[in-house]
Amino acid sequence: AQSVTQLDSQVPVFEEAPVELRCNYSSSVSVYLFWYVQYPNQGLQLLLKYLSGSTLVKGINGFEAEFNKSQTSFHLRKPSVHISDTAEYFCAVMYSSASKIIFGSGTRLSIRP
């Protein structure tokens, strides 16, 4: 079945510390991967996407993610977080163009000063 798993429902981290949010997806011949961010009481904003090519993708706000086909993972990283990064982060997958996006359950990132 097509699915996305985010193992951590909450990740607390100190300001300026590095963070990694984990994501695994169910394998398929073709897969397109995304990370979305949802700030409190707001909609979904695309952070970054992997469609093809380089397995390391860079997004907005200093985030990056690495596509690992053998481990079916697409973990999100940031070397130094800021208070303003406090939000819910959703990993998502699409298995073909113009099809539905399947979202993970989300990881709440909380930043401590």
Partner 1 sequence: EPEVTQTPSHQVTQMGQEVILRCVPISNHLYFYWYRQILGQKVEFLVSFYNNEISEKSEIFDDQFSVERPDGSNFTLKIRSTKLEDSAMYFCASSPSGTSYEQYFGPGTRLTVT
Site residues (CB under 8 A) for partner 1?
32, 36, 42-46, 49, 51, 90, 92, 94, 97-106
Closest alpha carbon to 112 in 34, 2, 19, 8: 19
Which structure tokens are listed for 67?
């596509």
User: Min. distance of Cβ 72 from partner 1 in angstroms?
Assistant: 18
Q: Give the 3-state secondary structure of residue 22.
A: coil
d(CA 35, CA 44): 10
User: Min. distance of Cβ 73 from partner 1 in angstroms?
Assistant: 18
Which structure tokens are listed for 92?
């998502």
Between residues 64 and 95, which has the closer beta carbon with respect to partner 1?
95
d(CA 5, CA 18): 21
Q: Does residue 2 contact residue 104 with C-beta atoms inside 8 Å?
A: no
Between residues 13 and 44, which has the closer beta carbon with respect to partner 1?
44
Between residues 20 and 103, which has the closer beta carbon with respect to partner 1?
103
User: Min. distance of Cβ 32 from partner 1 in angstroms?
Assistant: 5
Between residues 10 and 71, which has the closer beta carbon with respect to partner 1?
10
User: Min. distance of Cβ 62 from partner 1 in angstroms?
Assistant: 21
